[in-house]
Chain A
Amino acid sequence: AQSVTQLDSHVSVSEGTPVLLRCNYSSSYSPSLFWYVQHPNKGLQLLLKYTSAATLVKGINGFEAEFKKSETSFHLTKPSAHMSDAAEYFCVVSDHLDSNYQLIWGAGTKLIIKP
């Protein structure tokens, strides 16, 4: 079975500095990988997804992630943090189960932005 590990439960950065949220996965085949964001009191929203095209994936709000098969990683980055980026971020892998696919969710990383 596939799994997803988000290496940090909390990440704190100052506004204007780079953001790095780390995610490792285990997979026995070519996975699809996603990052979702959950702002306080709002629903989950897709940030970006990797589906076996370009390994560097650009998402909304200036975020991007790079799929590195050799390292089984899919880290999320942003060059300059904004206060509005404060939220919880989930790394997700698509798992093949029976004849269908399901999403396997990481435990989440809470991003804190300091003024």
Chain B
Amino acid sequence: EAGVTQSPTHLIKTRGQQATLRCSPISGHTSVYWYQQALGLGLQFLLWYDEGEERNRGNFPPRFSGRQFPNYSSELNVNALELEDSALYLCASTPEGGGTRTDTHYFGPGSRLT
């Protein structure tokens, strides 16, 4: 069974530019979560998509946005990049449909944005 995949592995941008990160969940998983992992910090919840809809978002500004496609893959867009956006962006999928107390997250390897 293929795991969660993310692309690109690394992305280098200039302040003010836009970045697009992509995630493909495990086959059969409908929920996708996005997290930001800045250096030395734990994971910060960004966005949760399930069945093509945004279910919840973390405490991030609106320039962080995304979408989920009919095949359940997902895209994270970061507009007007700032220096503090440099981080590892992790995508996870869950088999339980997301939002449950016992969710197990299956993570991709991450995309490092510099």
Residues of A participating in the B interface, judged by any CB pair closer than 8 Å: 32, 34, 36, 41-46, 49, 51, 90, 94, 96-108
B102 CB–A CB distance under 8 Å: yes
Can you show 23 pairs from A to B with CB atoms below 8 A apart?
Answer: A43-B3, A43-B4, A43-B107, A43-B110, A44-B92, A46-B105, A49-B102, A49-B104, A94-B101, A94-B103, A98-B56, A100-B56, A100-B98, A100-B99, A100-B100, A101-B99, A101-B103, A103-B43, A104-B45, A105-B35, A105-B42, A105-B45, A107-B41
Nearest-neighbor residue (CB-CB) of B42 within chain A = A105
Would you call the interface of chain A mostly helix, strand, loop, or mixed? Answer: strand
Q: Which residues of A sit under 8 angstroms from B41, Cβ to Cβ?
A: 107-108
- A103-B109 CB under 8 A given contacts A43-B3, A108-B42: no
- A90-B43 CB under 8 A given contacts A43-B90, A100-B55: yes
Do B43 and A94 have beta carbons less than 8 Å apart?
no
- Chain B nearest CB: distance from A46 CB in Å? 5
Do A32 and B56 have beta carbons less than 8 Å apart?
no
- Chain B nearest CB: distance from A81 CB in Å? 23
Which 6 pairs across A and B sit closest by C-beta, in order of nearness? A100-B99, A105-B42, A44-B107, A105-B43, A43-B107, A107-B42
Do B102 and A32 have beta carbons less than 8 Å apart?
yes
Q: Which residues of A sit under 8 angstroms from B35, Cβ to Cβ?
A: 105
